[in-house]
């Protein structure tokens, strides 16, 4: 797989996680359970969304890892490469 395709997939995944985190933040502000923490959440909005986006991105990588390059053969540490 091409390197630019991998980077593009990671960027799309990160953007989706960021949007999901912003949506979760908007829903969390309205919860009555979080009412005592609402001033802190509003004051640290960017950090809260960033932390949630990072958590969602990590979770998405754990559930569906990005594809690894198909032909990754490590060279021999001794300089010897078998000939076929």
User: CA dist 22 to 15, 27, 66, 67, 70, Å?
Assistant: 11, 9, 23, 27, 35
User: Which residues span the domain enclosing 34?
Assistant: 3-63
Quote the number of domains for the chain: 1
The residue among 17, 3, 27 whose CA lies nearest residue 58 is 17
Q: What is the pLDDT of residues 5-32, one digit of tens each?
A: 888 999 999 999 999 999 999 999 999 9
Is 37 contained in some domain? Answer: yes
The DSSP symbol for 82 reads -
pTM of the predicted model over 0.75? no
The residue among 13, 14, 17, 25 whose CA lies nearest residue 49 is 25
Is 72 contained in some domain? Answer: no
């Amino acid at each position: 797989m091409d390197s630019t395709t991998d980077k593009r997939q990671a960027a799309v995944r990160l953007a989706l996680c960021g949007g999901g985190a912003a949506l979760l933040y908007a829903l969390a502000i309205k919860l009555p359970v979080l009412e005592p923490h609402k001033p802190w959440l509003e004051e640290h909005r960017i950090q809260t969304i960033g932390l949630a986006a990072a958590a969602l991105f990590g979770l998405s990588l754990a559930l569906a890892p990005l594809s690894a390059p198909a032909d990754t053969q490590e060279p021999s540490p001794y300089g010897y490469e078998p000939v076929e």
